[in-house]
Amino acid sequence: MASTPATHIIGAGLMGASIGIGLGSEGWHVTISDADAEAESLARNIGAGGAPGRGEPALVIVATPPGVTAQVVVEALDTWPQAIVVDVASVKAPIADAAERTGQAHRYVGSHPMAGRETSGAMAAQGDLFRARPWVLCAGQASARAVATVKQVADALQCDLIEMDARAHDRAVARVSHAPQAAASAVAAALAPLGADDVALAGQGLRDVTRIAASQPQMWADIARLNRSALVETIDHIVDELNAVRVADDIGAAMTGLIDKGRQEVARIPGKHGGAKRHWEAVTVIVPDEPGRLVRLLSDVAAVSVNVEDIAIEHSPRQPVGLTTLWVLPQHAAGLVAALEHDGWTVAGA
């Protein structure tokens, strides 16, 4: 195990402070700074890092908002001519391009820890924020030593490391994250003409599609600007699919065709442990909406040694009961239904 590098974090928001807490708790020497004095002081108080000393850091982690990351990376490469510099912005190619223009790209590694929270700022920071989450590493022109140093960070934070090309990363996140955010927000925005009684017809499907439409908007301006071309390309693809339905002579056949295409692709989204998505069976149970009822249900499930692969709770709009759907392996479904009914549960569907 290599010794841990003296590390300086620039940016004391959720990401920077969480990295600082996580590395600090692993015994790393960490300092942290922020352009905002209050954020900096808060991060230091919660143990995200100390004040920088006179020595040069061996590793600089840039965790600023994405819009200023390229500039801060360039400045860091210039300020500390021996240090390895890594950033954590969610768009990678424009920052790699800026680093390459300095002639110091052998000391720069791009990275993207794919963790986040509904809240932001150092107050929400957690050393465990990145644990078991994918952390993309874009080596580019980085030296082997630089890459190894950044891998130490990912190891210390117990991330799931994925190496990718910066442009491939940007194209991929446009399709798996940035454009889906725009589409979810657009579906939500299209509810505007409906009255409250109309919106009350919403089922679990709409809730799922629009869940991320509740995201905070702040960081998205930078992301959209930095990843404009891949985002526009993906929006065009989505709009083309929708327009094909819109203008079809037979809108029924077009809708079925689109759903067929979507089914094919959605089956490629990994479920558990990177494997192909397993075919799970849904067992829906009526559960009174009271404390302790859900745990009683899951106790009864555990009693027959069935693992719950996924779970969803759907509250009834006007009644004090909810429908809880448990996804289990197909070979367990029939036995589970029988056991639950024997235990007195009402199974609404399996």
Q: Does 170 contact a copy of itself by CB under 8 A?
A: no
From the CA atom positions of the chain, what is the Rg in Å?
24
Q: Quick one: tokens of 43? A: 């991060």
Interface with a copy of itself (CB under 8 A), residue from 70, 77, 95, 184: 184
Interface with a copy of itself (CB under 8 A), residue from 1, 27, 81, 197: 197
Q: Does 344 contact a copy of itself by CB under 8 A?
A: no
Pair type for strands 310-315 and 321-328: antiparallel
Contact region with a copy of itself (CB under 8 A), list: 48-56, 68-76, 81-89, 182-190: 182-190
Q: Does 215 contact a copy of itself by CB under 8 A?
A: yes
Pick 143 or 325: Cβ nearer a copy of itself:
325
Pick 143 or 181: Cβ nearer a copy of itself:
181
Pick 26 or 128: Cβ nearer a copy of itself:
128
Interface with a copy of itself (CB under 8 A), residue from 27, 81, 103, 270: 270
Interface with a copy of itself (CB under 8 A), residue from 164, 167, 339, 343: 164
Contact region with a copy of itself (CB under 8 A), list: 45-53, 55-63, 149-157, 239-247: 239-247
Pick 75 or 289: Cβ nearer a copy of itself:
289
Contacts to a copy of itself from residues 41-100, by CB under 8 A: 67
Contacts to a copy of itself from residues 103-132, by CB under 8 A: 114, 117-118, 124, 126, 128-129, 131-132
The answer to whether 60 and 8 have CB atoms below 8 angstroms apart is yes
Pick 35 or 255: Cβ nearer a copy of itself:
255
Residue 334 CB, nearest distance to a copy of itself (Å)?
12
Binding mask 296-335 for a copy of itself (x = CB under 8 A): --xx-xx--xxxxxxxxx-xxxxxxx-x------------
Residue 23 CB, nearest distance to a copy of itself (Å)?
16
